[in-house]
């Protein structure tokens, strides 16, 4: 899994740093199956004010560029929509071959792109969304890999732990409840 925690302070336009939308944030959670060229996404934006605007098919993308640099979009996601609770959300899956609607030297910037490139070097990519007020980007964040076991939560498990001790404890609790319930049912049946 890959994620980008996006904010307004890291937006870069073609001429260098550009202002993003003050107070806006975004979370881009991406799950990749590069063998099938499938990417599933959960995108949440808070404080981003539509309308969206971009020369691409959509205004929500993964671009290829290192931190502090601008670069071409490689993936175009459906723009997040109001969820009724004040956030903008978009989720689903896309399957390659990918297109963005942006042409560079006559070729779509998604053409020939493989999700294996993100797997090989996630820091070489960033996620963002563009609006009419912030055409360089309302928010931007570099992609990072999330460990398969998750992150240290402070709940006694760390990244890479399988959760087996917690699973065992949960099963014991369920079994104990079942035994107690059986005993109560037998007493009621006798009495």
Q: Which fold has domain 2-145?
A: Immunoglobulin-like (2.60.40)
Residue 185's pLDDT is 40
Task: For 116-139, write each residue's pLDDT tens digit.
Answer: 999 999 999 999 999 999 999 999
Give residue 156's pLDDT band: very low, low, confident or very high (50, 70, 90): very low
Measured distance CA(87)–CA(101) in Å, rounded: 26
What are the boundaries of each domain within the chain?
2-145, 162-191
**Measuring CA to CA, which residue among 111, 119, 144, 123 is closest to residue 28?**
144
Q: Is the pLDDT of residue 155 over 60?
A: no
Q: Is the pLDDT of residue 5 over 90?
A: yes
Q: Is the pLDDT of residue 111 over 50?
A: yes
CA trace torsion 26, 128, 8, 47 (10° rounding): -40
Q: What is the mean pLDDT of residues 55-71?
A: 97
Contact 48, 138 (CB under 8 A): yes
Please list the alpha-helical segments (H only) found in the chain: 116-120, 164-190
Residue 34's pLDDT is 97
Residue 147's pLDDT is 86
Task: For 22-58, write each residue's pLDDT tens digit.
Answer: 999 999 999 999 999 999 999 999 999 999 999 999 9
Residue 104's pLDDT is 95
Query: Kind and range of the H or E element at 92?
Result: strand 87-95
Contact 129, 60 (CB under 8 A): yes
Q: Within its chain, how far is the Cα of 151 from the centroid? A: 15
The Cα angle at residue 141 between residues 136 and 145, in degrees rounded to 5? 150
Q: Is residue 64 left, alpha or beta, with left meaning phi > 0 and alpha meaning psi from -120 to 50?
A: beta
Residue 20's pLDDT is 97
Residue 55's pLDDT is 95
Q: Whole-prediction pTM value?
A: 0.77
């Amino acid at each position: 899994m890959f994620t980008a925690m996006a904010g307004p302070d890291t937006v870069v336009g073609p001429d260098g740093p550009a202002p993003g939308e003050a107070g806006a944030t975004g979370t881009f959670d991406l799950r990749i199956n590069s063998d099938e060229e499938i990417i599933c996404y959960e995108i949440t934006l808070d404080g981003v004010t539509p309308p969206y605007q971009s020369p691409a098919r959509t205004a929500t993308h993964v671009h290829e560029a290192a931190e502090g640099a601008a670069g071409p979009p490689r993936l175009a996601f459906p723009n997040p929509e109001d969820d009724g609770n004040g956030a903008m959300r978009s989720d689903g899956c896309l399957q390659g071959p990918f297109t963005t609607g942006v042409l560079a030297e006559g070729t779509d910037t998604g053409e020939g792109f493989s999700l294996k490139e993100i797997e090989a070097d996630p820091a070489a990519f960033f996620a963002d969304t563009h609006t009419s007020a912030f055409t360089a980007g309302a928010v931007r964040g570099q992609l990072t890999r999330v460990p398969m076991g998750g992150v240290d939560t402070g709940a006694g498990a760390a990244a890479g732990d399988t959760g087996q001790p917690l699973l065992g404890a949960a099963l014991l609790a369920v079994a104990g409840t079942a035994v107690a319930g059986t005993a109560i049912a037998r007493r009621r049946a006798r009495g």
